């Protein structure tokens, strides 16, 4: 099965928590704090793998969760930082944010790309020692790793794309000019997925893609080809294959116009790509049919090549022209990551400190995932640690929200498994 678009979720590892520890040694009095820092969480890294040609594996595994960094230890021992978590994808995969459509990366080169960064480790209590606070009984939790819902789209890396109606001879053409072996039969939609072939012309070579047959309305979802129009987007050159014999009962000029209309409807960039026109099945067409279409192509400003893919007549000249044309064109298109807008940056910052407060039976219940590790690392029996926790509640706006909801003196506030009475 060919799969070229999937949705997955990735979660980088959280940083390890800092340690609360004090140096103890037989002849050393008041050794002081020696809690180590937590380790960094694992990054999610995407790497291109040429042994893969489809995204089918991601249909069965949709969640990728990287390991967390290890917590710090006594004697200023740092927690272990985790190695990156590698996700291998076919070359040419475009990674997008599933919610906004923002392009995050184009996995077309050999360099690994970090998609989600692991959280930094939290500080141990060593960092909080001061001349006036010599016994800090709290440490910082590790920072959470980034989490994204992603859309992976495979856009094949091909120099030349073969487009045209079903059964016009695209598969036959790629089979005679390259080593590709697509299924060939005399019925529509024989090709159900794109086929790549390497065409060699002397010392030069280029990659050609046979795109499944398009029909009218393909850009709106009709037929099979609409699923694969995205693979033409990277192509530098289009070879438009037309059945000039009309043995299918269609007019080659109408076919040519309809396919170009579908390309333009799908993307303005596709309509601007240079084209070579391959008038196929010339061995079955009359001279009058060929001359009529040849005149039309000349009026449109496109070079036309008379070929018969079945007998290989004219195919060599077509490939030579394609190779010459490619020398004049820029390299295969690569998509640049789309930067975050100010609105998106504000939204992400707000999400990191988001919380809700519900009131049930007079109890104010605070829900905030980011607050849980801070709570668990605070020693509520220690005055300085308690002060630190109170500052977090004030700075995050939780106290302001409680007061807006009308909390009174001695009302109960519940934050996960920790409850306290509110004091102004």
What is the pairing mode between strands 160-163 and 204-210? parallel
Q: What pLDDT is recorded for position 187? A: 45
CATH code at 292? 3.40.50.300
Each residue of 94-132: pLDDT tens digit?
999 998 888 999 998 899 999 999 999 999 989 888 887
Answer whether 378's CB lies under 8 Å from 393's CB.
no
Q: Are 149 and 165 found together in one domain?
A: no
Tokens of 270: 């596709």
Q: Are 247 and 376 found together in one domain?
A: no
In a domain, 332, yes or no: no
Q: Are 123 and 214 found together in one domain?
A: no
Q: Are 59 and 91 found together in one domain?
A: yes
Query: Looking at the predicted structure, is the pLDDT value of residue 218 above 50?
Result: no
Q: Are 144 and 171 found together in one domain?
A: no
DSSP 165-209: STTSSHHHHHHHHSS------SSTT---S-EEEEEEETTEEEEEE
In a domain, 342, yes or no: no
Q: Are 120 and 170 found together in one domain?
A: no
Indicate the number of domains in the chain. 3
The angle subtended at Cα 208 by Cα 203 and Cα 209, nearest 5°, is 165
Sign for the pseudo-dihedral over CA of 318, 320, 321, 326: positive
Instruction: Report residue 184's pLDDT band, with 50, 70 and 90 as the boundaries.
Output: low
Number of other residues whose CB lies within 10 A of the CB of residue 193: 18
Name the residue among 52, 292, 313, 40 with its Cα closest to residue 173: 313
Answer whether 392's CB lies under 8 Å from 370's CB.
no
Each residue of 310-367: pLDDT tens digit?
888 999 999 999 999 999 888 888 888 888 776 776 676 666 778 889 888 888 989 8
Q: Are 130 and 253 found together in one domain?
A: no
- Bridge-partner residues for 48, per DSSP? 89
Query: Looking at the predicted structure, is the pLDDT value of residue 164 above 90?
Result: no
In a domain, 99, yes or no: yes
Q: What pLDDT is recorded for position 65? A: 96
CATH code at 382? 3.30.300.350
In a domain, 377, yes or no: yes
The CA R_g of the chain, rounded to the nearest whole Å, is 32
Considering the chain, what is the average pLDDT of its residues?
84
Q: Are 167 and 243 found together in one domain?
A: yes
Q: What pLDDT is recorded for position 349? A: 67
Torsion from C-alpha of 260, 266, 270, 271, nearest 10 degrees: 40
Return the DSSP state at 334: -
Answer whether 56's CB lies under 8 Å from 2's CB.
yes
| Range from 138-147, 232-241, 294-303, 373-382 carrying the lowest mean pLDDT | 373-382
In a domain, 203, yes or no: yes
Q: Are 145 and 165 found together in one domain?
A: no
Q: What pLDDT is recorded for position 388? A: 81
pTM, two decimal places? 0.72
Q: What is the mean pLDDT of residues 299-313?
A: 88
In a domain, 77, yes or no: yes
CA–CA separation, 261 and 259 (whole Å): 5
CATH code at 49? 2.70.210.12
Each residue of 380-416: pLDDT tens digit?
777 777 888 888 888 888 999 999 888 888 888 988 8
Each residue of 35-77: pLDDT tens digit?
999 999 999 999 999 888 888 889 889 999 999 999 999 999 9
Answer whether 152's CB lies under 8 Å from 59's CB.
no
Sheet-wide strand order for 5-11: 63-65, 5-11, 147-154, 93-97, 103-107
CA–CA separation, 208 and 173 (whole Å): 10
Name the residue among 124, 213, 123, 120 with its Cα closest to residue 162: 213
In a domain, 335, yes or no: no
Domain containing 184 equals: 160-327
């Amino acid at each position: 099965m060919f799969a070229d678009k999937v949705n997955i979720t990735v979660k980088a590892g959280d940083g390890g928590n800092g340690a609360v520890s004090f140096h103890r040694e037989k002849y050393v009095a008041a050794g002081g704090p020696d809690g180590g820092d937590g380790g960094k969480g694992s990054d999610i890294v995407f790497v291109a793998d040429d042994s893969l040609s489809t995204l089918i594996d991601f249909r069965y595994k949709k969640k990728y969760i990287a390991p967390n960094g290890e917590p710090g230890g006594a004697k200023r021992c740092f927690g272990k930082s985790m190695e990156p978590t590698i996700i291998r994808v076919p070359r040419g995969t475009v990674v997008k944010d599933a919610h906004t459509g923002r392009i995050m990366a184009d996995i077309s080169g050999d360099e690994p790309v970090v998609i989600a960064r692991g959280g930094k480790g939290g500080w141990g209590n060593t960092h909080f020692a001061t001349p006036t606070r010599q016994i800090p009984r709290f440490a910082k939790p590790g920072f959470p790793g980034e989490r994204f819902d992603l859309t992976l789209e495979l856009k094949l890396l091909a120099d030349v794309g073969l487009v045209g109606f079903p059964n016009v001879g695209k598969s036959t053409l790629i089979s005679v000019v390259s080593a590709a072996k697509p299924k060939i039969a005399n019925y529509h939609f024989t090709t159900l997925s794109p086929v790549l072939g390497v065409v060699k012309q002397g010392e030069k070579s280029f990659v050609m893609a046979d795109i499944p047959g398009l029909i009218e309305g393909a850009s709106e979802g009709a037929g099979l080809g609409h699923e694969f129009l995205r693979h033409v987007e990277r192509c530098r050159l289009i070879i438009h294959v037309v059945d000039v014999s009309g043995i299918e009962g269609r007019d080659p000029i109408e076919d040519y116009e309809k396919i170009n209309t579908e390309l333009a409807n799908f993307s303005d960039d596709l309509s601007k790509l240079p084209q070579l026109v391959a008038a196929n099945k010339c061995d079955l067409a009359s001279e009058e049919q060929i001359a009529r279409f040849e005149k039309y192509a000349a009026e449109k400003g496109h070079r036309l090549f008379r070929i018969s893919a079945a007998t290989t007549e004219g195919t060599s000249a077509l490939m030579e022209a394609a190779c010459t044309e490619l020398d004049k064109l820029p390299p295969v298109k690569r998509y640049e990551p789309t930067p975050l807008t100010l609105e998106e940056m504000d939204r992400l910052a707000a999400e990191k400190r988001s919380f809700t407060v519900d009131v049930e039976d007079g109890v104010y219940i605070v829900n905030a995932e980011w607050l849980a590790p801070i709570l668990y690392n605070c020693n509520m029996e220690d005055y300085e640690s308690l002060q630190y926790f109170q500052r977090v509640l004030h700075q995050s706006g939780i106290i302001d929200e409680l007061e807006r909801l009308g909390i009174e003196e001695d009302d109960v506030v519940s934050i996960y498994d920790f409850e306290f009475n509110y004091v102004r």
